[in-house]
Amino acid sequence: MSNLRDHLRQRALDCATHGKTPWTGTICCARCKKPYQTEDSKAQHYAPAECSCGVTLMPASKQSKKFSARAICSTCFVGLTGTRPGKA
Ligand SMILES: [Zn+2]
Ligand SMILES: [Zn+2]
């Protein structure tokens, strides 16, 4: 998901709940707030191109601006999903 990285750029997040944390590829849908991870396509909650709410979740290309993925902190992701992001 290097395209998404190019979009998001910031590797450190300033989470309102957890403070500054390194971004580990965890995202949520801006529309329905559903959490996803982008690190491991075989693990749970891997981000699909389209969210289950029907919006485009991941940018189709570097130039693409229409996508709903927003970076969230990995601690928030664990709290939302009960699973750790990325490689198990
Ligand atoms: Zn959604
Ligand atoms: Zn957080």
Specify the pLDDT at position 28: 96
Contact indicator for 34, 28 with CB cutoff of 8 Å:
yes
Ligand closest to CA 21: 2
Distance CA 88, CA 78 (A): 13
Ligand 2 centroid from CA 70, angstroms: 13
Specify the pLDDT at position 65: 85
Instruction: Give the chain's radius of gyration (CA, Å).
Output: 12
Q: What is the residue-level pLDDT of the chain in tens, covering all 88 positions?
A: 556 666 665 578 889 999 998 888 999 999 999 999 999 999 999 999 999 999 999 988 888 888 999 999 999 999 999 998 865 5
Q: Residue 25: which of 17, 7, 33 has the closest Cα? A: 7
Ligand closest to CA 14: 2
